[in-house]
Amino acid sequence: MLGIWGLAFASTVIAGPSPTVPDYFQTSWGPFAGGYATGRVPFLAETNPALLSAQPTYVPNGPLVTDIPVPGKPDGASIFSNMANLAPYKPSTYGFGVDEHPLPSGSNITQIHMVHRHGSRYPTGKPDVVDRIHGFIKNGTIFTGNLAFLNTWTYQLGENLLTARGRQELFDSGILHYYNYGRLYDPATHLIARTTTMARMLESAEAFMYGFFGPKWTQNVTLEVAIDWLGFNNSLGGDQMCTNAVNRTGMTGDSVTEQWISIYLQDATRRFQRQSHGGTANWTADDLSDVQSLCAYETSAFGYSPFCLLFTWDEWLGYEYNVDVEFYGNNGFGSAVGRAIGLGFVEEFVARLMHHLPNPPDDSIAINTTLDGSKSTFPLNQTIYFDFSHETEIFSMLTALGLSQFGEYLPPTHIVKNRPAIVSEIVPFAGYFLFEIIKSPHPVLEKRPQDSSQTSYDTSGRETTYVHMLINQRTVPLGKSIPDCGKRDDGWCELHTFIKYQQQNIARANYNASCFGNYSTLGYGNITDGAIPNSSIDDSEL
């Protein structure tokens, strides 16, 4: 079964697909949309307590209240820059180790390939700490100080759906990319863009298309919607068919996050305990990590959350690092299934670059071979490719692409400063990566001239095509991970060099063994290349 449904901005489920349209082009919510629920409607103009806080000047919300005066916060900083995968979208703050360079005169962007995360959403399920708090109150606990609001607090978040901020992020992104790449689209053509059946994924794709093409975007684009559910092949949800991802045997990050949580939240746990009187309140570090996530979720849903004031700046840095460790161990180079989860996209990307349908190895089922086996559902002639996915999947795609510059080991005992893989920089809400394909009349010099009057070309050479990668509007220097790309000032890589590397790189995922091999969960730090080594599996079980 390949069936799929999608979304319109509605909260009702429409029964059954249209009989005249294939199920993978249906965009009304169906049985694979995932559980979802709306939360309470915000009323920030009436309920914003930030207006009463000790601020030096009035700071209007825009639309979220993110100027939170937590202890130790540097001037001009925001805790929302340190909320890892729950951070609202922002362009990458620090970049990825290379300066941005303009396109040399005479060069042209001929194609783009984008994978975009969904926007800010409600939680995928109620955090465990919610029932813990309600249990404390039921058993007689009285909260004081900064925790006093908990005496009357109730959980009012929805589930899985985008918040208004999430819709805004994708709409704004569509507008941004229209301005950046609008001329690439030929109005005489009709694009296929891909998303998944999860409600937040469908909402995100539609909001983006509205921003890029306007309210009549369906005249320009058809959404192809792949089932995002256990047991279905889907390159935008590659964990769903990978057994050792589903059962988490191939993931190592879970085993050490509690270790770091107990370190960075030690003082906070004591503070919470001192402000909880009577009853059975017994706060744990895990509780407080959940409370930090409530800050992000409530702010996105309601515009402001009192939970945000309960932690210091250093504790917010600790929260972000905890998620960085988790992603490294579960979806990055520290995971036995890190490459495998993202492999399907890499197989498809290489096929698109070479203008043929994917032809993966026989032992790889990382793609939906039915959808990818037809040019009507896997077109090869588009100048623009838009795909929509989840943050963990995107992180694994970067791993499967062999971007080892994001593969530095992260110890679970202390924060590594200046680390290259910061989740809020790579996959915040509405984050994305994008490849530009650039044709130049001559080879572009590896070292760009400082004098703008000098040519950027080696005029003795022929026309050359390049790949330029960006994550959240900042260049990723491909030569840092792919030595044959060279140490270029602009971070580009010659297209044929990039394709050759990726063709060889696909096998490094060790897909069949990583996803289906019989092996015990390996300790954090024992995997360093995003795949299970053959020496760790029982071949008889494959």
CA 145 to chain centre: 36
Select from 177, 166, 528 the least CA-distant residue to 385. Answer: 177
Q: What is the mean pLDDT of each run of 10 residues along the chain (542 residues)?
A: 31 46 77 74 57 52 83 92 96 92 94 98 96 96 97 96 97 96 94 96 97 96 94 93 96 95 98 95 97 97 95 98 98 98 97 93 77 95 97 98 98 96 97 98 95 92 98 98 97 98 95 94 94 76 48
C-alpha closest to that of 28 among 2, 3, 47, 52: 3
Pairing state between β 432-440 and 464-471: antiparallel
CB burial of 298-323 (b: ≥16 within 10 Å; e: otherwise) equals bbbbbbbbbbbbbbbbbbbbbbbbbb
Q: CA 176, CA 470: separation in Å to the nearest integer?
A: 14
- What is the phi-psi region of residue 105: left when phi exceeds 0, alpha when psi lies from -120 to 50, beta otherwise? beta
Go through the chain and tell me how many residues it has. 542
Residue 215 neighbours by CB under 8 Å, 6+ apart: none
Compute how many other C-beta atoms are within 10 angstroms of the C-beta atom of residue 60.
8
Helices within 111-194 (DSSP H only): 128-138, 164-181
Consecutive H or E run containing 143 = strand 142-143
pLDDT, position 8: 30
pLDDT for 424: 97
- Please say whether the dihedral angle defined by the alpha carbons of residues 194, 196, 202 and 204, taken in this order, is positive or negative: negative
3-state secondary structure of 111: strand
Q: What is the DSSP string of 39-74?
A: -PPP-HHHH-GGGGS--SS----SSS------TTPP
- Run of H or E including 396: helix 391-400
Please report the pLDDT score of residue 366 as a whole number: 81
pLDDT, position 94: 87
Question: What domains sit in the chain, N to C, each tagged with a CATH number?
Answer: 81-106+162-250+326-381+392-430+494-516 (3.40.50.1240)
Q: What one-character-per-residue DSSP string does 275-325 give?
A: TEESTT----HHHHHHHHHHHHHHHHHHS--GGGGGS-HHHHHHHHHHHHH
Which two tokens mark 216?
């009549």
Task: Output the pLDDT for position 95.
Answer: 93
The helix or strand, by DSSP H or E, that contains position 392, with its residue range, turns out to be helix 391-400
- Of 370, 341, 332, 374, nearest to 357 by C-alpha is 374
What angle separates helix 495-505 from helix 338-354, to the nearest 10 degrees?
A: 140
